[in-house]
Amino acid sequence: MEELAIALESPSFRACHDLHLSAIAIFLNIAMLPVPLQNISNLPIDDRASHNAIGRLMLNAVMSESYQPLPPLDPNLDISQNHYWNYHNVEALISCKQPLTTSKDEDLFITVHQICELAFHQMIIDMERVLSTLSGALNTNSVIGDTSEACYFFQRVLRLYEIVNSTMPILTTMRAFAEFRTSIGPTSGFQSFQFRHLEIMSGVRKYWVGGTQNPEGKLHIAEVEFERKYGDRVTQWFEQYRQHNLAYYYDLLVSRAVGDTQVEKVANLQTYPDAKAILNFMQAYDKCQTQFHQGHLGLAIQQLKIVGVEIGTGGTSFKDYLAKYHREEAPLFPGLSYASSL
């Protein structure tokens, strides 16, 4: 462990931080890719600070006495009966996929969306960790405190977002959407309450409200039913994350920087390693958000063109609705992209 600590501070580590992090990850048996996230490696902001912060956190975690195996929730549980299939509930998981037609493309359609929903579920868990640790880092008399733990969980959120953004395009391989489209009724992607939850945690407001209105201003049944089932929960999320979301903490961080304009303030923050690290991840997250919405729009255009209709399954003029995000909510972190290119 002492040798590992020395390696983290060595000049060779700083020069080849990706390689060292890969070795550390293998050593600690932590699931990390051997190269940085594509989203992050393409950013103009130097990402070394964020990777070094993550490296420090991993070292602290493995050396901490608090990281001890936990006992089973049920002390009477016979763990010798645990096997891959029942521990992961594989059969129950598969049984959740229930197509309404015999179309093999419908089978794929459900699989892809369920993969994304599982990813969203874990992203929500880890985003809460990001927000909690980031709140703690901002609870200081200085510009910002240690963001290494926030960066650690943020990297995991981004890895999961990459799964979503690499899984959804599989639907472009469908050749028979028309075989089952009419069977799924008003089902629409905007009815994903987990993605709505995640967007609220991110600081997104209400671009989706009224998204299914027809020319007479009447809401489609898809939105009416979503509001009936999840409206109270969405209202609760808005209150819960009103001052506890990524965009809020970004604005708070920027307000502490020196500069006359937003761009100047963001540029000033890049002189603080911990601020620079979290800005890297915020920018990468914003790119993932944009990629998701653009991908959704492209997929809808392709598949509905094949079917030969201009109305989305949720009753929207889908091009107008899916473009609303870019008009009303993006970017989540104003000034960040421009300042990082200076």
Query: 143 is in which domain, residue-wise?
Result: 102-340
The candidate with the shortest Cα–Cα distance to 39, out of 159, 147, 156, 150, is 159
Length of the chain: 342
- 51 and 167, same domain (yes or no): no
Q: What is the pLDDT of residues 244-292, one digit of tens each?
A: 999 999 999 999 999 999 999 999 999 999 999 999 999 999 999 989 8
- 133 and 215, same domain (yes or no): yes
Q: What is the mean pLDDT of residues 65-85?
A: 82
Helix 221-240 with 193-202: angle, nearest 10 deg = 40
Q: Which residues of 159-178 are buried (b: 16+ CB within 10 A; e: fewer)?
A: bbbbbbbeebeebeebeebb
Q: What is the pLDDT of residues 164-212, one digit of tens each?
A: 999 999 999 988 888 888 888 888 787 899 999 999 999 998 777 776 7
Token pair, residue 5, equals 């600590």
Inside any domain, residue 96: no
- 159 and 42, same domain (yes or no): no
The candidate with the shortest Cα–Cα distance to 181, out of 239, 276, 99, is 99
When mean pLDDT is compared across 116-120, 230-234, 317-321, the lowest value belongs to: 317-321
The candidate with the shortest Cα–Cα distance to 106, out of 174, 192, 189, 185, is 174
Q: What is the pLDDT of residues 92-113, one digit of tens each?
A: 999 999 999 999 999 999 999 9
Inside any domain, residue 39: yes
Mean pLDDT across the chain: 80
Inside any domain, residue 88: no
- 15 and 163, same domain (yes or no): no
Inside any domain, residue 326: yes
* Residue that the structure tokens 């898809």 belong to: 222
State the pTM of this model.
Answer: 0.78
Q: What is the mean pLDDT of residues 46-59?
A: 53
Check: CB of residue 152 under 8 Å from CB of residue 281: no
- 46 and 106, same domain (yes or no): no
- 186 and 45, same domain (yes or no): no
Inside any domain, residue 74: no
pLDDT given for residue 116 in this prediction: 96
- 116 and 213, same domain (yes or no): yes
Radius of gyration (C-alpha) of the chain in whole angstroms: 22
- Residues 151 and 195: their CA atoms lie apart, in Å, by 21
Token pair, residue 262, equals 């937003």
pLDDT at position 144 over 50: yes
Q: Where are the alpha helices (DSSP H) in the chain?
A: 2-9, 11-15, 17-28, 38-41, 48-63, 84-87, 90-95, 104-138, 148-167, 193-202, 221-240, 246-255, 262-269, 273-307, 318-328, 336-340
pLDDT at position 69 over 90: no
Q: Which residue has the higher pLDDT, 154 or 60?
A: 154
Inside any domain, residue 151: yes
- 155 and 31, same domain (yes or no): no
The candidate with the shortest Cα–Cα distance to 298, out of 179, 171, 160, 158, is 171
Inside any domain, residue 69: no
- 202 and 319, same domain (yes or no): yes
Helix 262-269 with 273-307: angle, nearest 10 deg = 120
Check: CB of residue 223 under 8 Å from CB of residue 211: yes
pLDDT at position 59 over 70: no
- Residues 299 and 325: their CA atoms lie apart, in Å, by 16
Inside any domain, residue 145: yes
pLDDT at position 233 over 80: yes
User: Which CATH number goes with the domain that contains 231?
Assistant: 1.20.58.480
pLDDT given for residue 308 in this prediction: 62
Name 224's Cβ contacts closer than 8 Å, sequence gap at least 6. Answer: none
- 9 and 152, same domain (yes or no): no
pLDDT given for residue 13 in this prediction: 45
331: cis peptide before it, omega within 30°? yes
- 172 and 268, same domain (yes or no): yes
- Residues 173 and 111: their CA atoms lie apart, in Å, by 13
- 237 and 152, same domain (yes or no): yes
- Residues 239 and 234: their CA atoms lie apart, in Å, by 9
* Residue that the structure tokens 């369920």 belong to: 114
pLDDT given for residue 317 in this prediction: 61
pLDDT at position 15 over 60: no
Q: Quote the number of domains for the chain.
A: 2
